Copies of this chain bind each other. A is one copy, B any other.
Amino acid sequence: MPDTLPTPCMICVAITGSLPTKANNPAVPITVTEQIESTQGAFEAGASIVHAHVRNDDETPSSDPERFARLKEGLEKHCPGMIIQFSTGGRSGAGRMRGGMLPLAPDMASLSVGSNNFPTRVYENPPDLVDWLASEMRSYNVRPEIEAFDLSHILQAAKMHADGRLATTPYVQFVMGVKNAMPADRDVFDFYIKTVKRLFGDETPWCAAGIGAHQLTVNEWAVAVGGHART
């Protein structure tokens, strides 16, 4: 038995995402009740973080704080100790609506600190909105997960951290495989890790998410070198 155990791999489960509907996959949990049930299954199977979006009754993306509140209450009851992360991503609302649930003080929230292209449009995260979301996270003591769709987003997070604009050392997630943004490229992945260690310290945890067909590839890369994984 080794003297020190390796850091366990944390699995972050993205139960719903912002877009897929029951028509795409009948198993996608849409209502808050379905989301709680689905998360509990993942929690019991070993997931330690839940990345959550909420939906309207017609399955469209929402950032309704009331739905987030019901979800948080159910998760705290059924998945005690699980880390709850809310999405502040741009597909669920416009402008400050994206952060309307932060006063609920989840453990974590996603934070995009730069802009980039998506398959058919620009993913817009204007500087003043980024700063406002970060300041709300500071106010409610919410740890940011930086969604690094590109390399500069990691350097921007380091700058915001140095400036005191982030509540805590951020948890950086590399997002790879989105069309027109960063592809799932192994050399870039290795440089991302090197950059996180250089800017935030060798022991800083990070995670990686591969989108669509790249999910397993990126999970395998991450788990093999000590990162955490996102479904």
Contacting pair B116 A120 (CB below 8 A): no
A97 vs B182: C-alpha distance when bound (angstroms) = 28
Contacting pair B116 A188 (CB below 8 A): no
Judge whether A115 is part of the interface by a CB distance below 8 angstroms. yes
* Most chain B Cβ neighbours within 10 Å, of A117, A152, A183, A194: A152
A134 vs B198: C-alpha distance when bound (angstroms) = 36
Contacting pair B180 A187 (CB below 8 A): no
Contacting pair A122 B121 (CB below 8 A): no
The minimal Cβ–Cβ distance linking A117 to chain B, given in whole angstroms, is 5
Judge whether A144 is part of the interface by a CB distance below 8 angstroms. no
* Most chain B Cβ neighbours within 10 Å, of A120, A130, A156: A156
Contacting pair A114 B117 (CB below 8 A): yes
Count the copies. Answer: 2
Contacting pair B121 A126 (CB below 8 A): yes
Contacting pair A152 B151 (CB below 8 A): yes
Contacting pair A116 B116 (CB below 8 A): yes
Of all chain B residues, the one with the shortest Cβ separation from A179 is B127
* Most chain B Cβ neighbours within 10 Å, of A128, A130, A150, A198: A150
Q: Which of B115, B182, B194 contacts A115 (CB 8 A)?
A: B115
Contacting pair A182 B151 (CB below 8 A): yes
Contacts of A124 in B (CB 8 A): 115, 122, 124
- Render A130-142 as a binary contact track against B, CB cut-off 8 A, 1 for contact: 1000000000000
Contacting pair A152 B127 (CB below 8 A): no
Contacts of A194 in B (CB 8 A): 187
Contacting pair A122 B125 (CB below 8 A): yes
A120 vs B188: C-alpha distance when bound (angstroms) = 28
Q: Which of A73-116 contact B (CB under 8 A)?
A: 114-116
Contacts of A123 in B (CB 8 A): 115
A156 vs B183: C-alpha distance when bound (angstroms) = 8
Judge whether A185 is part of the interface by a CB distance below 8 angstroms. yes
Contacting pair A183 B159 (CB below 8 A): yes
The minimal Cβ–Cβ distance linking A26 to chain B, given in whole angstroms, is 31
The minimal Cβ–Cβ distance linking A80 to chain B, given in whole angstroms, is 39
Contacts of A185 in B (CB 8 A): 155
Q: Which of A152-195 contact B (CB under 8 A)?
A: 152, 155-156, 159, 180-183, 185, 187-188, 191, 194-195
